[in-house]
Structure 1
Amino acid sequence: MTVKNLIFDLGNVIIDLDINRTWLHLAHYLGDDYQNTLKMIHPDSDIFIDFEVGKITEQQFLKTLRNASETPLSILTLKNAWNAMLLSINPARFDMLARLKEKYRVFILSNTNETHLAWVDGYLQTIHGFDISALDTRFSHRAYYSHIMGLRKPNVNIYEFVLEKEGLIAAETLFIDDNADNIKGAQSVGLQTILHKIGDEIVDVMRDY
């Protein structure tokens, strides 16, 4: 069926990520004492999920990480380690989004948290000259963030929410994400999908759209 709508993930699709950088930062600061903290920043951990759906605040999240280790670390040090996984955005991706927005309805759907979104906002202002609201206006018709929605991929209710909110037909909507579980969740509600391979350039992937 013809694609009329596009939904993009952010991490490792629009924004380059390397979670190993966060692990390395924690290992550097905590040494052998970092294993408990490492378990907490696994995407399947309860605290990770709670942070991504907005059940806990940044301070609660970071204090829980601090309490997981016997090594005293400041909240700022932990925050910097948490943000270390965030890298950069190829400016050509903004051109791509703007181009696609002229032809399709374009949306962003991201599992994220208040700390990472604040970092992205600062990065965009410093490096690209606009703030994060541009992701919600200039480069998409709307951006959806898990911690604001209280919903999280790959649960089907997050896809159903966006489809209903925007009046989209699932079969006419293409969802692009780097996570296989998120792709399966999207497929279960009838979305067309692309499993984006980390390292591939999304601009090239979307060149024919």
Structure 2
Amino acid sequence: MLYIFDLGNVIIDIDFGRVLGVWSDYTRVPLANLQKSFVPGEAFERHERGEISDEDFAAALCQELALPLSYEQFAAGWQAVFVGLRPEVIEIMHNLRAQGNRVVVLSNTNRLHTTFWPDQYPEIYAAADRVWLSQDMGMRKPEARIFQKVLEEEGFSAADTLFFDDNAENIRGAEACGIASVLVVDKSTIPGYFAASAALR
């Protein structure tokens, strides 16, 4: 069986409010203004596909939000998104592998974030057989091709795969490819799913 785990708010808690808070502190732009105007758009998606550089992404977002930030200030805020690991999910991933399953991570992320979280949270790479990152693949969830690529490379059919993600659009994308999927709504979703599965055995 192939188990695919998203990263943000599945394995690691993330909070974009923290990002906006740092940028607000640097610029004195009111946080409420940033919260209203921050919407992941075209630059965000292109950055996640690796189509634009970190510097170009920072410039585009600063222009969109009217933020007078240096690149260093932008990056400091961007890395503040990470809150902490969900150790219970890391443990489940290890247990699944010990049972002979294949466990991978599939994340919409970006080059700038990957200069931070792999070193900050080495437990993730230790718990996964492989980590698939959108900016390395040139594609992002919920595009069908990214799921098809992972299935092809991992050598599993959609019928033998289970996907966990906190984004309903990504869930729909995976299900359209025939992959059974679980929407992660909070920290209890994944432990609860496997507890229920064990109870049914």
TM tier, smaller: 0.7 to 0.9
Q: 65, 69, 75: which one pairs with 1:73?
A: 69
Residue 192 of structure 1: how far off its partner (Å): 0.6
Residue 54 of structure 1: how far off its partner (Å): 0.1
User: Structure 2: which amino acid aligns with 1:148?
Assistant: D
Instruction: For residues 136-165 of structure 1, give each alpha carbon's deviation from its aligned partner in whole angstroms, at most 9, with x where no partner exists.
Output: xx3222110000000100011110111111
Matched pairs, number: 195
2:45 paired residue number: 49
User: Structure 1: which amino acid aligns with 2:120?
Assistant: Y
In the alignment, is the contact (CA less than 8 A) between 2:10 and 2:187 conserved in 1? no
**5+ residue gaps, structure 2:** none
| 1:120 and 2:114 matched | no
**CA root-mean-square deviation:** 2.4
Q: Normalising to structure 1: TM-score of the pair? A: 0.82
Instruction: For residues 86-142 of structure 1, give each alpha carbon's deviation from its aligned partner in whole angstroms, at most 9, with x where no partner exists.
Output: 111133432221111122111110000011121102312xxxxxx47x61xx32221
Instruction: For residues 23-62 of structure 1, give each alpha carbon's deviation from its aligned partner in whole angstroms, at most 9, with x where no partner exists.
Output: 22233333159968975x533x110001000001112212
In the alignment, is the contact (CA less than 8 A) between 1:170 and 1:189 conserved in 2? yes
2:138 paired residue number: 150
Distance in 2 of aligned mates of 1:71 and 1:177: 31
Distance in 2 of aligned mates of 1:71 and 1:185: 34
Q: 12, 21, 24: which one pairs with 1:24?
A: 21
Distance in 2 of aligned mates of 1:29 and 1:19: 16
Q: Which moved more, 1:179-188 or 1:90-99?
A: 90-99
In the alignment, is the contact (CA less than 8 A) between 1:33 and 1:71 conserved in 2? no
In structure 1, the residue corresponding to 2:170 is in which secondary structure?
helix
| 1:140 and 2:136 matched | no
**5+ residue gaps, structure 1:** 125-130
In structure 2, the residue corresponding to 1:106 is in which secondary structure?
strand
Q: 98, 122, 140: which one pairs with 2:94?
A: 98
In the alignment, is the contact (CA less than 8 A) between 1:33 and 1:69 conserved in 2? no
Q: Which moved more, 1:14-23 or 1:62-71?
A: 62-71
- Percent of counterpart pairs with the same letter? 33
